Chain A
Amino acid sequence: MENNQYIDIFIEESQEHIENLNSNLLLLENDPENRQVIDEIFRSAHTLKGMAATMGFENMNKLAHKMEDVLQEVKNGQLHISHAIMDILFKCVDTLSEMLDSISQTGEDNVPIDELIFLLSGVSSKSGNKENIVQKENDASGSDTLLNVYEEDIIREAAKDNYKAYKITVHIDKGCVMKSARAFIIFNSLDEIGDIINSSPSVEDIEDEKFEDSFTVHIITKEDKESIEKRLLSIAEVNNVEVELINIDLNKEGERFVKEVSSSQSQSFENIKKSQSNNKTSKSVRVDIDRLDNLMNLVSELIIIKTRLEGLEADNKNSETVSAIEYLERITTNLHDAVMKVRMVPVERVFNRFPRMVRDLSYELGKKIILNMYGQDTEVDRTVIDEIGDPLVHLIRNSIDHGIEMPQERWQKGKPEQGTINLRAYHEGNNVIIEVSDDGRGIDIEKVKAKAVEKGIYTAEQVNDLSKDKILDLLFRPGFSTADKVTDISGRGVGLDVVKNKIESLNGSIEILSEINKGTKFIIKLPLTLAIIQALLVKVGDEKFAIPLNSISEIVHKKEEEIHNVQGKEVVLFRGKVIPIIRLNEVLETKKISNNGNLVCVIIKKGENLACCTVDELIGQQEIVIKPLGKYLSNVKVIAGATILGDGQVALIVDANNLF
């Protein structure tokens, strides 16, 4: 395609517009009359439309165009923002973002949009429909069955052909063994007489048996009430059926849902507003990350050369040379700092997706939640930014799902109905700290203890001697979940252990603070950059290796005779603990050097576990620049990368996490 050279720019700019749409839609939901925000959303949709058309992405162009039409009506005051409209607009943004993913992967925007286009036409007053929401109470399950504009449209269309719409609530016998199978039969027999528009709970949930003993469906059919009842009651294990004719009130004003939610979330929106108004219109250039990596490489090369020159300096008494080298040293140090700074990105890039996530989840769960974000401008190296998103998503989902209670429950506890989640980032020395805290129910220590005993990790006696921190630490064990039931939001077999592993792989750490009924706080500590670390240089055989300092616990000397054999494995006693010996010369396949019975042991840690690595010689501590081994050697497990030493030699970095 001839537009190839522009595709990167297109993707990047569209990404920005989509982010913009997302945060502005959140603002609009909170403040539906805000003209400025509507204008902003309109502009983004308009620009997207134009860009997509230029690049020849028809689907994207069509969808953005349709959005623009609807937004135009909102602008003109012909249309009022309602829950339904917001939902559709959010869906559109999601679809646009999906399209963009697809474009960057395959160069095509093949994402189905017909349903969305239909929905958008549905809300648009041009097609003659007023935005309406029909809300009927569903007394069986207590939850509301909502017909959206799309479904309502179907009913209206069907009415022209003498179809009638019914709301049917089916009660199944409490003793029914296979509820989902029974529901399937009911669905089938309804399908025979008409079309099912929707069901509550959703069909998926019914299939998964996620319902009590009743469910509600909306159906359009030509049959009358009595014959439907008769038909359904003839199915075994159906106890009772309620059939209700639906009349759509065409003149009913679209429901203004927004107020209630808005009050509870206003603070989070203040945050977005603030962060937006803070956007400085500074002079900046977009730089490809590869170019930055290249620059970083060149700078580390310069540092290596500088180190070599410093070595030569000692032999050279010429004061001119000495001062020139000192000058060079100052410049390279500054240059290094400058390049590191260029690679720094504000954590805002990661945080930005959370308001939308919190919004969607709180709707889904019927909870009221404020998300406060602080320190979005805290800067972290690109390499770190790319990795912390997933762990944070997990922790925030965790807080929303397990932490924050339902409004009713909070009210009974004397807490404000809306829960608060605070997301905070700040610098501390050479680290960046990110905290996720909530004011929810907190972690029940007794429950964790009971679980630990049940799982056989500790005996009932041992567990009572453990400190609170140790007990909370148990939550990071694989498969250790105290949730009574696994929900869609969190759970799914992915636990906090995954979060912990991810953070440790970034050389960071995580801890939990929790107080019952007051809330839980996760504190993540990460290094500012992953590109440069402190390492211990050692000799194994006659080769040099680097071991990252943060996986080293300490260094001890042992005698060969202190090594014991337990079940064919070499172990050694260290501070009263039996820990395994890892002979690095074997793992690293180096020459064996005679040690006269004296072992230099580097004690390495992986979480709670320790191991004793034997090396032949310690060289010293040094700051090293980590470089990947490349794709061709990506399956070498014990090596985490390589670094270039002062003399240009390559030293491999031992991956302590993969040694045992």
Chain B
Amino acid sequence: MSLYVIAKIDEEEYAINIEKVQTIEKVMPITRVPQTESHVKGVINLRGEIIPVISLRVKLGLVEKEYDEDTRIVVLKAYDMLVGMIVDNANEVVDIAEEDIDNLVFNEASDEFGKFVSKVGKIKDKVFLILDLKKLLDVRV
């Protein structure tokens, strides 16, 4: 059994292994950084630490949405990096059993989800797309 943080974009639910999540924050002022890709929203001051922030919506190829009460920055700690990820909502933690996780084969060229999801987990009849942080954070190894 492992715990997963559930991040929402529209009605889709993405799961991130809780070990990779440093903290979840409400939206705070973001300082834009020039000469970066469109999914990079800028940097934030998280208690004295400068952390880059990306938009999961843009990364997934979706249209931007105004930030609201529910918008959250999920600060990921993975591959030697701290990166904040803006999602529509993140206030749930679920426990997915190892045997309920399946590998997925997406057609990467045609399916935007396939670029960042390689596994899917289920609890009863609910399905969670498990984010592949290596792909999401452009880790090249």
Query: Is A649 part of the binding interface, using a Cβ–Cβ cutoff of 8 Å?
Result: yes
A628 to B80, CA, bound (A): 14
Query: Is B82 part of the binding interface, using a Cβ–Cβ cutoff of 8 Å?
Result: yes
State whether B36 touches A633 (Cβ < 8 A): yes
- Which residues of the other chain, B, contact A632 by a CB distance below 8 angstroms? 52, 54, 81, 83, 137
- Which residues of the other chain, A, contact B31 by a CB distance below 8 angstroms? 543, 642, 649-652
State which residues 51-98 of B face A: CB under 8 Å: 51-52, 54, 80-83
- Which residues of the other chain, A, contact B49 by a CB distance below 8 angstroms? 297, 627
- As a 0/1 sequence over residues 109 to 126 of chain B, the CB contacts with chain A under 8 angstroms (1 = contact) are 000000000000000000
Query: Is A638 part of the binding interface, using a Cβ–Cβ cutoff of 8 Å?
Result: yes
State whether A649 touches B29 (Cβ < 8 A): yes
Distance between A49 CB and nearest chain B CB, rounded to angstroms:
35
Query: Is B2 part of the binding interface, using a Cβ–Cβ cutoff of 8 Å?
Result: no
- Which residues of the other chain, B, contact A641 by a CB distance below 8 angstroms? 50
Query: Is A314 part of the binding interface, using a Cβ–Cβ cutoff of 8 Å?
Result: no
21 residue pairs bridging A and B, Cβ less than 8 Å apart: A300-B48, A304-B48, A588-B34, A589-B34, A628-B50, A629-B33, A629-B43, A630-B51, A630-B52, A630-B82, A631-B80, A632-B81, A632-B83, A633-B33, A633-B36, A633-B52, A636-B36, A639-B33, A641-B50, A642-B31, A644-B50
State which residues 619-660 of A face B: CB under 8 Å: 627-633, 636-639, 641-642, 644, 648-652
State whether B50 touches A629 (Cβ < 8 A): yes
Q: What residues make up the interface of A, taking CB atoms closer than 8 Å to B?
A: 297-298, 300-301, 304, 543, 587-590, 627-633, 636-639, 641-642, 644, 648-652
Which one of B33, B35, B45, B81 lies within 8 Å of A648 (CB-CB)?
B45
- Which residues of the other chain, B, contact A588 by a CB distance below 8 angstroms? 34
Q: A297-B48, A543-B31, A627-B49 are in contact. List 20 more A-B contacts (CB 8 A).
A: A301-B47, A543-B32, A588-B34, A589-B32, A589-B34, A590-B34, A628-B50, A630-B52, A630-B81, A631-B80, A632-B81, A632-B83, A632-B137, A642-B31, A642-B43, A644-B45, A648-B45, A649-B31, A650-B29, A652-B43
Distance between A624 CB and nearest chain B CB, rounded to angstroms:
12
Distance between A432 CB and nearest chain B CB, rounded to angstroms:
27
State whether B35 touches A589 (Cβ < 8 A): yes
Query: Is B40 part of the binding interface, using a Cβ–Cβ cutoff of 8 Å?
Result: yes
Q: What residues make up the interface of B, taking CB atoms closer than 8 Å to A?
A: 29, 31-36, 40, 43-45, 47-52, 54, 80-83, 137
Distance between A654 CB and nearest chain B CB, rounded to angstroms:
10
Closest Cβ neighbor of B82 among chain A residues = A630
Distance between B30 CB and nearest chain A CB, rounded to angstroms:
8
- Which residues of the other chain, B, contact A638 by a CB distance below 8 angstroms? 34-35
A638 to B36, CA, bound (A): 11
- Which residues of the other chain, A, contact B81 by a CB distance below 8 angstroms? 630-632
- Which residues of the other chain, B, contact A590 by a CB distance below 8 angstroms? 34
A523 to B124, CA, bound (A): 72
State whether B50 touches A627 (Cβ < 8 A): yes
Closest Cβ neighbor of A631 among chain B residues = B81
Closest Cβ neighbor of B28 among chain A residues = A648
Closest Cβ neighbor of B36 among chain A residues = A636
- Which residues of the other chain, A, contact B44 by a CB distance below 8 angstroms? 650
In the A-B complex, the 3 residue pairs with the closest CB atoms: A301-B48, A650-B31, A589-B34
Closest Cβ neighbor of B51 among chain A residues = A630
Contact A642/B50 with A589-B35, A629-B43, A651-B31 known, Cβ cut-off 8 Å:
yes
Distance between B14 CB and nearest chain A CB, rounded to angstroms:
19
- Which residues of the other chain, A, contact B50 by a CB distance below 8 angstroms? 627-630, 641-642, 644, 650
A639 to B33, CA, bound (A): 8
State whether A587 touches B40 (Cβ < 8 A): no
A629 to B51, CA, bound (A): 7
- Which residues of the other chain, A, contact B47 by a CB distance below 8 angstroms? 301
Q: Which of B35, B48, B82 has the most CB of A within 10 A?
A: B48
Contact A652/B33 with A298-B48, A630-B52 known, Cβ cut-off 8 Å:
yes
State whether A650 touches B45 (Cβ < 8 A): yes
A330 to B43, CA, bound (A): 31
Distance between B63 CB and nearest chain A CB, rounded to angstroms:
21
A301 to B137, CA, bound (A): 28
A639 to B40, CA, bound (A): 15
Q: Which of A632, A633, A644 has the most CB of B within 10 A?
A: A632
Which one of A633, A644, A649 lies within 8 Å of B48 (CB-CB)?
A644
Distance between B78 CB and nearest chain A CB, rounded to angstroms:
10
A644 to B44, CA, bound (A): 10
State whether A633 touches B45 (Cβ < 8 A): no
Closest Cβ neighbor of A540 among chain B residues = B34
Which one of A304, A631, A636 lies within 8 Å of B35 (CB-CB)?
A636
Distance between B108 CB and nearest chain A CB, rounded to angstroms:
22
A4 to B29, CA, bound (A): 41
State whether A587 touches B34 (Cβ < 8 A): yes
State whether B33 touches A636 (Cβ < 8 A): yes
- Which residues of the other chain, A, contact B137 by a CB distance below 8 angstroms? 632
State whether A636 touches B43 (Cβ < 8 A): no
Closest Cβ neighbor of B40 among chain A residues = A633
A40 to B34, CA, bound (A): 57
Distance between B39 CB and nearest chain A CB, rounded to angstroms:
11
- Which residues of the other chain, B, contact A631 by a CB distance below 8 angstroms? 80-81
Distance between A547 CB and nearest chain B CB, rounded to angstroms:
14
- Which residues of the other chain, A, contact B48 by a CB distance below 8 angstroms? 297-298, 300-301, 304, 644
Distance between B87 CB and nearest chain A CB, rounded to angstroms:
17
Q: Which of A637, A644, A648, A650 has the most CB of B within 10 A?
A: A650
Distance between B19 CB and nearest chain A CB, rounded to angstroms:
18
Closest Cβ neighbor of A643 among chain B residues = B50
- Which residues of the other chain, A, contact B82 by a CB distance below 8 angstroms? 630
State whether B43 touches A650 (Cβ < 8 A): yes
- Which residues of the other chain, A, contact B83 by a CB distance below 8 angstroms? 630, 632
Distance between B56 CB and nearest chain A CB, rounded to angstroms:
14
- Which residues of the other chain, B, contact A649 by a CB distance below 8 angstroms? 29, 31, 45
- Which residues of the other chain, B, contact A297 by a CB distance below 8 angstroms? 48-49
Closest Cβ neighbor of B137 among chain A residues = A632
Distance between A591 CB and nearest chain B CB, rounded to angstroms:
11
- Which residues of the other chain, A, contact B54 by a CB distance below 8 angstroms? 632
A631 to B80, CA, bound (A): 8
Which one of B34, B51, B80 lies within 8 Å of A636 (CB-CB)?
B34
- Which residues of the other chain, A, contact B45 by a CB distance below 8 angstroms? 644, 648-650
